[in-house]
């Protein structure tokens, strides 16, 4: 694959603009603002075209020149390029003319959009010469870091709260990382990790590698635009936790406009969160750029970050694009999961339930006009978190293995349905 020399200018502080050479740092020494990867867009302008992208592999690496990787791709060769589905059934049910589903519930290899960020982070960590990667997580990130570390033949330390569900632990342990169960709350796990990252020379994907890691989320946006024939949709509804995904999709859209790949960045970004943990949506509703941290209490555990690192930038993405946001109750989240499954045959996790529920509300309130184009972000797979559905779903009948037993059961079911 062709590499544009010198496309990566290094890191730049999002607050004071100070520049740093590309290295594993994430905070500006001067103002303590977060650092972001900076590219030479003038150099990229002539070289990146719709055709050059189309000639790339069917994965996130077709956008490699817009990612902070300078050498070869180390891991995750098949990450991304997930289906963008034109919805008929859900569109009818919700009453919207043009509805698309970006389906990362089937993202390789660990079934969530986190594979996009982690494959970039682990490749970068290798490039920096680390032999160990690490993260603090309660689920999707843990699975993805453990899997990609295994592929990279790197050591990995995954920090989780000790009381995490067994299912999530197994889906991480299978890759044989060092799993550190910390007796404490999520908050304490995260704080411990920032201390650990100061002391040990490890690549913490969401701490010291964060500027590179978060760039991986841009590919979710590039794919939407490319799969729509290089057109910016009217609206994108994004589930938010740390607030990085929505910020980076918006960045991707603006970059594509800068590079002439689309006409105008005419998309409104909408934030989707749970009632039980929705500090970013609360900022949007209250029209304030001050984030008030919350204590999460929701079944949408993958979105349960009460004090999001990129909360301010997520809020800015929503405001700058002219979007809005909504909260979904736990009941609405489950309804959203069931609705997507019933209408489109897609089993998403709670985060996807949040997105569907919020889209429904935004349409009902007229925030999203019914005759405009809408993309909903389905970012994780339902088979990882079936627990939330156990109470809601049950087998219809249990019978002996005989035809007459089945005939009777069927008659019963039909009469129940009639009454």
Partner 1 sequence: MARMRVRLTFPPERIQEPVIYHLVKDFDIVTNIRRADVTADHGWVILELEAKEETLERGIAWLKGKGVKVDPIERDVIVP
Ligand X SMILES: Cc1ncc(COP(=O)(O)O)c(C=O)c1O
State the residue for tokens 């736990």: 330
Assign 287 to helix, strand or coil.
coil
Site for partner 1 in 197-226 (CB under 8 A): 197, 206-207
Give the strand pairing for 8-13 and 19-20.
antiparallel
Contact flag: residue 242 with partner 1 (CB under 8 A) = yes
In the complex, the smallest distance separating the C-beta of residue 206 from partner 1, rounded to whole angstroms, is 6
Residue with token string 């309804």:
335
Q: Which stretch binds ligand X (CB under 6 A): 28-36, 153-161, 192-200, 236-244?
A: 236-244
Q: Any contact of residue 351 with ligand X (CB under 6 A)?
A: yes
- x/- letters, 103..132, toward partner 1 (CB under 8 A): ------------------------------
Task: Give the shortest CB-11-to-Zn ion separation in angstroms.
Answer: 10
Binding to partner 1 in span 303-342, by CB under 8 A: 304-309, 311
Member of 1, 6, 23, 32 binding partner 1 (CB under 8 A): 32
162 sits near partner 1 (criterion: CB under 8 A): no
State in angstroms the smallest separation of the CB of 269 from partner 1.
20
Question: Interface with partner 1 by CB under 8 A: which range of 162-170, 299-307, 320-328, 373-381?
Answer: 299-307
What's the CA gap between 288 and 284, in Å, rounded? 7
188 counts as binding partner 1 under rule CB under 8 A: yes
Please name the helix (run of DSSP H) or strand (run of DSSP E) that holds residue 341, with its range, or none: helix 330-344
How many other C-beta atoms lie within 10 A of the C-beta of residue 110?
25
Give whichever of 290 and 417 is closer to partner 1, judged by the CB atom.
290
Q: Exposed, middle or buried by CB within 10 Å (0-12, 13-18, 19+), for 366?
A: exposed
Residue 419 CA to residue 415 CA, distance in Å, equals 6
> DSSP string of 39-103?
E-HHHHHHH--HHHHHTS-SSGGGGGGGTT--S---S-TT-----EEEESHHHHHHT-SEEEEEE
Q: Which of 187, 234, 372, 389 binds partner 1 (CB under 8 A)?
A: 187
The tokens 């682990």 sit on which residue? 122
Contacting positions for partner 1 (CB under 8 A): 15, 27, 30-33, 138, 185-191, 193-194, 197, 206-207, 242, 288, 290, 293-296, 304-309, 311
């Amino acid at each position: 694959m062709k590499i544009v020399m010198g496309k990566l200018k290094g890191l730049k502080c999002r607050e004071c603009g100070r520049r740093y050479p590309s290295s594993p740092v994430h905070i500006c020494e001067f103002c303590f603002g977060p650092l972001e990867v900076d590219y030479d867009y003038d150099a990229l302008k002539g070289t990146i075209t719709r055709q050059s992208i189309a000639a790339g592999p069917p994965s996130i690496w077709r956008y490699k020149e817009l990612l902070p990787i300078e050498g070869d791709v180390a891991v995750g060769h098949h990450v991304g390029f997930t289906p963008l589905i034109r919805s008929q059934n859900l569109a009818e049910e919700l009453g919207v003319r043009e509805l698309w589903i970006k389906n990362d519930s089937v993202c390789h290899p660990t079934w969530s959009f986190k594979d996009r960020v982690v494959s970039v982070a682990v490749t970068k960590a290798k490039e920096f010469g680390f032999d160990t990667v690490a993260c603090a997580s309660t689920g999707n990130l843990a699975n993805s870091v453990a899997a990609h570390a295994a592929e990279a033949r790197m050591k990995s330390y995954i920090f989780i709260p000790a009381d995490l569900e067994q299912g999530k632990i197994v889906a991480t342990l299978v890759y044989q990382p060092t799993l550190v169960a910390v007796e404490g709350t999520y908050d304490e796990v995260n704080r411990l990790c920032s201390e650990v990252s100061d002391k040990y020379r490890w690549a913490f994907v969401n701490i010291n590698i964060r500027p590179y890691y978060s760039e991986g989320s841009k590919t979710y946006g590039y794919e939407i635009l490319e799969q729509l024939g290089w057109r910016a949709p009217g609206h994108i509804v994004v589930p938010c936790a740390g607030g990085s995904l929505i910020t980076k999709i918006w960045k991707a859209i603006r970059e594509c406009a800068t590079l002439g790949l689309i006409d105008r960045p005419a998309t409104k970004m909408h934030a989707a969160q749970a009632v039980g943990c929705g500090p970013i949506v609360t900022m949007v509703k209250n029209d304030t750029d001050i984030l008030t941290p919350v204590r999460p209490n929701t079944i949408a555990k993958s979105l349960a970050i009460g004090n999001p690192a990129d909360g301010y930038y997520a809020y800015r993405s929503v405001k700058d694009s002219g979007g809005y946001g909504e909260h979904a109750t736990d009941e609405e989240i489950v309804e959203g999961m069931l609705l997507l499954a019933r209408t489109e045959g897609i089993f998403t996790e709670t985060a996807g339930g949040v997105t569907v529920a919020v889209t429904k509300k935004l349409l009902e309130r007229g925030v999203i006009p019914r005759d405009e184009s809408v993309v909903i972000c389905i970012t994780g797979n339902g088979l990882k978190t079936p627990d939330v559905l156990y109470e809601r779903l049950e087998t219809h009948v249990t019978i002996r293995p005989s035809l007459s037993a089945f005939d009777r059961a069927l008659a019963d079911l039909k009469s129940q349905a009639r009454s």
